[in-house]
Amino acid sequence: MFTQLKQLPADPILGLSVKFKADSNANKIDLGAGIYKDETGHTPVLACVKAAEQFRVDKEPSKAYLGSAGSAVFNEKMTALILGEHKVIAENRIRTVSTPGGTGALRVAGEFIKTCTPGATIWVSNPTWANHQGVFTAAGLNVKTYPYYDYENNCLDFEGMLAALKQVPKGDAVLLHACCHNPSGMDLSKEQWQQVADVAKQVGFMPVVDMAYQGFGQDLDADAYGLRLMADTVEQMIICSSCSKNFGLYRERIGACSVIGQSAISADIISSVLLSVVRVLYSMPPAHGAAIVETILSSTELTNQWHGELKEMRDRINGMRQLLVDKLASNGVTRDFSFITSQNGMFSFLGIDKAQVQQLQDKYSIYIVGSSRISLAGISSDNVDYLTKSIAKIL
């Protein structure tokens, strides 16, 4: 059986990390990995997380299964974090299950959609997170794209996006990034979210909102604005969320898949199907990360501490955006990179071509995805001069 296998290419982002680790250049910079790093290049464990873990060590009574839905407390706290005091919670129209990270939430969503409508199509932005298409294809969905980013002008192609969404067949699903769009960093404004929500209601497509970076853009509530507006407008939608970035729980693999139905009765039916999907995918979700999150969100003291640490991460990334633009200008780069400061989250496109991306890697040990997407979290005050001088040379 195995003799028929052929070598597959490495994931472009994960493969870049392997090359970076093998590079002996003391000045090397990794701008490919989508993971938060502090000023020293380290991905720290948040202090609130350490406190919650200690509490878990002291208080955890058992290692028994929690059930396919995961922790009821975690699911309740995550629903409130995502939606705030939204009417769908009061109306008992939403059901949430714990998942192995945000990727697991997306796969559960894909399998759920396929169960509802075999052969269904989901539309994703062009560009979108590199793994979206693979996850949904593996779940048995057809994947199509709608315009999103204008590479020539380094801005949102909202006219193209809206025109395409108006043509989506009724019953298809449309994936939307709640905030901190990966890979462009370009988010919808409040007015644009309203137009997209109106089109979703008029056309009748199913919104699937991926929120992997809540709190990394403006703040927890502002980053959820579009998602909550969409829930105000349509009767049914799916939300995939992750605790990897905002809680720094990357390796714990904890996220959630939430589905809103038309009524409480509909939500109960949805729940039964979600649990059936989970049962055959991974049976039970991991518990440790969920316990950390629910412990933090159940404590006023730890929640306040988390808010402070989250703001520190957000402010550092935003600061690196401005510093990068300033340093490029001071190092003689005449091209306008000011668009970087108008974006949100960890990512942006530099707008250089693949040959220049390769030059940065070969000559200067600066690792960037071929599309020129960079992770701002990989920049620091120590390496920004080397980075910007290198970019100036290849330009």
Nearest residue to 206 via CA among 272, 92, 121:
121
Q: Can you name the residues that pair with 107 across neighbouring β-strands?
A: none
Per-residue burial over 175-190, b = 16 or more CB atoms within 10 Å of its CB, e = otherwise: bbbbbbbbbbbbbbee
* Cα-trace Rg, the chain: 21
144, 146, 220 from 126: Cα distances, Å = 9, 6, 26
Beta-strand runs (E) in the chain: 29-30, 94-99, 121-126, 142-147, 149-150, 155-156, 173-177, 206-211, 237-242, 255-260, 347-349, 366-367, 373-375
- Cα gap 316→308, rounded to integer Å: 12
Active site members: 129, 210, 245
Q: Provide CB contacts within 8 A for 95, sequence distance 6+.
A: 258, 259, 261, 267, 268, 270, 271, 274
Determine whether 197 is exposed, middle or buried from the number of CB atoms within 10 Å of its CB (0-12, 13-18, 19+). buried
Structure tokens at 59: 């208080």
Cα angle vertex 141, ends 140, 144, to 5°?
145
Q: Provide CB contacts within 8 A for 2, sequence distance 6+.
A: none
- Cα gap 356→235, rounded to integer Å: 47
